Structure 1
């Protein structure tokens, strides 16, 4: 890898290529056309430049010792557990209509991308978003105008336009942008105009070359732009942008240490001669010792140096003054003992982790953790970091299928099971001892622990604590477990109650 991944072509300063600049007009353009009913409409297709070099931002992770791990942690934990299907409510028994919708959405999910699972598409977009602040889903529709596929688009080749206020056929006013993909004139095949996309839900009949077709005949596909920051801005910025200077500095520190081992001088001692010169044989011995590559063959050997006096015609009466001598001066004390800027590198790692709001355990730094602190860190990170992001991607995923008008089913991103068995045991032990838990109350919990499906026991007696008769008037299960609680256990108890009443 080249030592300078981030380099400006103007003045050779690394920060110049990633420094923030104003969002400026890159290419001005507007078009007018007539929509249904002959209504004159216009679209502003003026392209705007991003505030940062997106291609350079995506490359920074390759030169950082911590950034890529943080981005991988986001992608793997947000969508790495897979995509699931669930009913919007569990209060009703499964009907044929619900089963039909579930089968339909399963088919759509399996066919969203023919080359890879939809989970990998979402994971790739998350990588893009965390690398440069911008990610793009491409939505592909069939002849019935229904979404049947999704894919990702490289953000460094996408350019956004100005915001357009558009009145939909039902009178609703929406705001949309347009996007142009341009990696090279040869690849785009659009005669220099690039390949155009429109925002998801935009009814404009846009063509891939940027022209306007007749209503209902546009060839441009739709994109969903995911970005970090203010959604009124045309581009997002990565969450690590505040620590960018530290990341680049840490890279420089690593390069300095690397150059020390490759180009640095490692001289453990100096040989000083006074009024003498080495013999030809001693010079040859030193040269051979310096050029020797195999250190094992020179172990436990000594070096013999011989010197001869330098002739001096002056001061012949004081022969002791010009007596030849050989001195060995140790230089180890002034050599670099270890890598430099280690504390700086540690501070950079802490700053980057803080910008992603990640505990060190998620990037493999677990030396200061025990089981209790690990569980606490995972629970807090799930609640405050990963789950909110799952909900955002879930909303976008379900929004793709709005035209299908599913009433009962929806997609969701699965999350890990972080149940603390010690806490569960501390709650259940006194409840079981007090005869306050029915056998069927524990079946779903045991199913999760054993990772195998367990059916409920049949018979009303298993829905009551042992020794309690179902016909007893002294035991009101609705008061015991509640009627409106949304908790997982309470919901399970309500379902049992319905079964008993049914």
Structure 2
């Protein structure tokens, strides 16, 4: 994926649009504070304490990135007193067995407004995390056992998932090779202004060395002089063949546009379509003469603007969430902080600013 010139930007847009707006709890249809207040409180605590090292948005963002990179994402569920904790497992270390064990799984479903428990047989897998020579085993989420559990998120229905862009992987690799080819062309390609050739003879040793070094940007605009030694002529070789000189101009052949530009454009479009990247279309004026290049440039500018708006909106949502959290830690918000301490137990107090609120019969400092 890192070899693509478009997929990383698309994945970043996914992360922003999916997790950048924060999270919010909602009651199921027919539920409210009157019927599910205790469950709401538990869910709220879980969302804040599921991972104490990272916020739930950061964790979900990493999982989205894993899912779009390789088609697989793994969540470790650790139980042991109180609410469970969840962690991301890097997908490159995970493997799974075939579904070889049949177990009785327990499920809870909301039926007619009441939570009911059901059991059902299921063939389950086991998961292994291998780092070096160390192997840690996990059980499938919900399966009975002593090991930690794993939730396997994947794109597709196979044993392992596949990224959305897997069908266009030849185009991704081809675009990468196009970029490398063009880079190598400027670093190592022959970019001489002309070549001077002497006919009916052999290249002198110094000319061979000069020819080997005549490449890359150091030779751009230069002239290559090839010196030859005429062949022997006559019975005793006391004469030399007459040599001739030929000039070939290389600019017309080599100083053209970069290679495979159209191929690169097409593969970029295909890859972007494969990962469902956001796009916008511009409405053109009726009398404005425009070219295809202008339209493509405007569309790209609009798409980039929408991406920036999404990022800024997500940042604003995060700031609002953090501000609400900060405000909720104060007894009475930012407007009034009420401290109901018994002044009889205070040895001394120094009032810097304050007044007596007659309406509330209290001193506000």
Instruction: Indicate conservation of the 8 Å contact 2:194/2:250, yes or no.
Output: yes
Residues 351 and 291 (structure 1 numbering): CA distance in 2 closer, same or farther, change over 3 Å?
Answer: closer
Alignment-derived partner of residue 228 in structure 1: 155
Instruction: Indicate conservation of the 8 Å contact 1:353/1:360, yes or no.
Output: no
Alignment-derived partner of residue 191 in structure 1: none
CA distance in 1, matches of 2:304, 2:132: 52
Scaled by the length of structure 1, what TM-score is found? 0.45
1:367 matched to 2:286: no
Alignment-derived partner of residue 179 in structure 1: 126
Matches within 5 A, 1:63-212: 63-88=3-28, 98=37, 104-143=42-81, 146-147=83-84, 149-156=85-92, 157-162=94-99, 164-168=101-105, 172-184=119-131, 186-188=133-135, 195-202=136-143, 204-205=144-145
Alignment-derived partner of residue 169 in structure 2: 244
Matches within 5 A, 1:255-266: 255-266=180-191
Scaled by the length of structure 2, what TM-score is found? 0.60
CA displacement, residues 171-195 of structure 1 (integer Å, 9 cap, x when unaligned):
621425233324245333xxxxxx2
Alignment-derived partner of residue 37 in structure 1: none
Matches within 5 A, 1:339-358: 339-358=258-277
Residues 347 and 164 (structure 1 numbering): CA distance in 2 closer, same or farther, change over 3 Å?
Answer: farther
CA distance in 2, matches of 1:199, 1:64: 34
Give, in angstroms, the shift of residue 227 of structure 1: 0.9
Instruction: Indicate conservation of the 8 Å contact 1:276/1:325, yes or no.
Output: no
Residues 374 and 75 (structure 1 numbering): CA distance in 2 closer, same or farther, change over 3 Å?
Answer: closer
**Larger strand proportion, structure 1 or 2?**
2
CA displacement, residues 440-460 of structure 1 (integer Å, 9 cap, x when unaligned):
xxxxxxxx9xxx9xxxxxxxx
CA distance in 1, matches of 2:122, 2:191: 65
Give, in angstroms, the shift of residue 257 of structure 1: 1.9
CA displacement, residues 251-282 of structure 1 (integer Å, 9 cap, x when unaligned):
222222222222222222012447999xxxxx
The DSSP-based 3-state class of the residue aligned with 1:116 is coil
The DSSP-based 3-state class of the residue aligned with 1:225 is strand
Instruction: Indicate conservation of the 8 Å contact 1:129/1:135, yes or no.
Output: yes
- Out of 333-342 and 160-169, give the one that drifted further: 160-169
Alignment-derived partner of residue 210 in structure 1: none
Q: For structure 1, which runs of at least 5 residues remain unmatched after alignment?
A: 1-60, 189-194, 206-217, 278-282, 315-321, 383-413, 418-447, 453-502
CA distance in 1, matches of 2:19, 2:139: 26
CA distance in 1, matches of 2:26, 2:315: 16
Give, in angstroms, the shift of residue 370 of structure 1: 8.6
Instruction: Indicate conservation of the 8 Å contact 1:197/1:223, yes or no.
Output: yes
1:332 matched to 2:270: no
The DSSP-based 3-state class of the residue aligned with 1:357 is coil
Instruction: Indicate conservation of the 8 Å contact 1:160/1:235, yes or no.
Output: no
Give, in angstroms, the shift of residue 335 of structure 1: 1.1
CA displacement, residues 31-80 of structure 1 (integer Å, 9 cap, x when unaligned):
xxxxxxxxxxxxxxxxxxxxxxxxxxxxxx12222222222222222112
Residues 358 and 336 (structure 1 numbering): CA distance in 2 closer, same or farther, change over 3 Å?
Answer: same
Give, in angstroms, the shift of residue 108 of structure 1: 2.2
Aligned length: 281
Alignment-derived partner of residue 339 in structure 2: none
Residues 141 and 293 (structure 1 numbering): CA distance in 2 closer, same or farther, change over 3 Å?
Answer: closer
CA distance in 1, matches of 2:148, 2:74: 12
Q: CA RMSD in A?
A: 4.9
Residues 415 and 84 (structure 1 numbering): CA distance in 2 closer, same or farther, change over 3 Å?
Answer: farther
